[in-house]
């Protein structure tokens, strides 16, 4: 394990929030970012993610169905942002390739990368262009992609700012980044009031818990602008109770966001953020 400083403001001043297993979750005193500290080494994480994704056919199918609504809404947002333009799209953390397939069906030249060998083999078996590698290992050319997507990936990365800078480099000027992340802290703090134990932070899989504000800060710091966050659709879990909860809060969140003209975002639920690369070079 290694001690780190805040990814946004580089401060080491934190409040202790809770402990899950052997892991401490803290919150930056200066900017409010919530993260695990100390964090696991990258070699540990690479091995950890080999068994992270579903492996049986039924579980893979259920995962695809669960994410279908989010993927569909994300493509609607991307296509509206880019207009009639289509081009190269990279899905980072593509898993079994369901979003790549959906993007291909709407005219994008879509490919993906993922750490899971099993997931990449599955996607390759469906004829998709995927690679079992990291963004840094691929060494893409500058200004190469028109769109990059990350669905429930940024919270897993040990150095999200470093990855966002690399994404900024390989995106074309005016290129689009779409990020979807969970927002766990409001729920954890509410449960703490009622003394309800939980492991909702899902460490060591999740290393950072982004609020819309902290995500906006780190995106700006790494060179992105025109940042907009919305509910971005909802998941449809297999369990009826979980599906009802997801649909209820997703619907309420969407309605509140619309009637407040985008000013209110319901805390504690996953959200989708879209950002545009400017032409400024990041040092």
176-234 per-position pLDDT tens digit = 999 999 999 999 999 999 999 999 999 999 999 999 999 999 999 999 999 999 999 99
Q: Residue 279 has what pLDDT? A: 52
Structural domain that includes position 157: 53-188+211-277
Spatial distance between the Cα atoms of 45 and 190, rounded to a whole number of angstroms: 29
In a domain, 239, yes or no: yes
In a domain, 182, yes or no: yes
CATH of the domain at 253: 3.40.50.150
Nearest to 142 by CA among 3, 281, 1: 281
| Beta-sheet pairing, 109-113 with 171-181 | unpaired
Instruction: Cis check for the bond before 154: say yes or no (omega within 30 of 0).
Output: no
Cβ–Cβ contacts within 10 Å for residue 147, how many? 27
Spatial distance between the Cα atoms of 92 and 261, rounded to a whole number of angstroms: 30
In a domain, 31, yes or no: no
In a domain, 202, yes or no: no
In a domain, 73, yes or no: yes
| Beta-sheet pairing, 271-277 with 171-181 | antiparallel
Q: Residue 271 has what pLDDT? A: 97
pTM reported for the whole predicted model: 0.93
The secondary structure element, H or E, covering residue 148 is: strand 145-151
Q: Identify each DSSP E strand in 21-78 by its residue range.
A: 23-28, 34-36
Q: Helix crossing, 98-105 with 57-82: angle to 10°?
A: 40
When divided into structural domains, the chain yields a total of 1
């Amino acid at each position: 394990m290694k001690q780190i400083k805040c990814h946004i403001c580089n401060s080491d001043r934190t409040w202790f929030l809770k402990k899950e297993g052997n892991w401490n979750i803290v919150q930056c005193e200066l900017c409010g970012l919530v993260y695990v500290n100390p964090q696991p080494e990258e070699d540990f994480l690479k091995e950890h993610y080999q068994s992270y994704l579903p492996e049986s056919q039924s579980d893979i199918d259920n995962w695809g169905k669960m994410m279908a609504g989010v993927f569909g809404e994300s493509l609607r947002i991307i296509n509206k942002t880019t207009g009639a333009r289509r081009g190269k799209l990279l899905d980072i953390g593509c898993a079994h390739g369901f979003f790549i397939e959906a993007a291909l069906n709407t005219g994008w030249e879509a490919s993906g990368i993922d750490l899971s060998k099993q997931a990449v083999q599955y996607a390759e078996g469906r004829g998709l262009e995927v690679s079992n590698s990291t963004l840094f290992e691929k060494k893409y050319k500058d200004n190469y992609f028109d769109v990059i997507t990350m669905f429930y990936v940024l919270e897993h990365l040990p150095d999200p700012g470093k990855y966002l800078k690399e994404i900024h480099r390989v995106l074309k000027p005016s290129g689009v980044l779409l990020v979807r992340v969970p927002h766990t802290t409001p729920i954890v703090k509410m449960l703490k009031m009622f003394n309800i134990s939980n492991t909702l932070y899902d460490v060591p899989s999740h290393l950072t818990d982004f609020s819309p504000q902290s995500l906006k800060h780190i995106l700006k710091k790494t060179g992105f602008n025109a940042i907009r966050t919305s509910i971005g659709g909802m998941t449809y879990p297999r369990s009826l109770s979980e599906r009802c909860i997801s649909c209820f809060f997703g619907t309420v969140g969407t309605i509140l966001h619309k009637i407040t003209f985008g000013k209110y975002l319901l805390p504690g639920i996953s959200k989708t953020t879209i950002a545009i690369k400017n032409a400024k070079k990041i040092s």
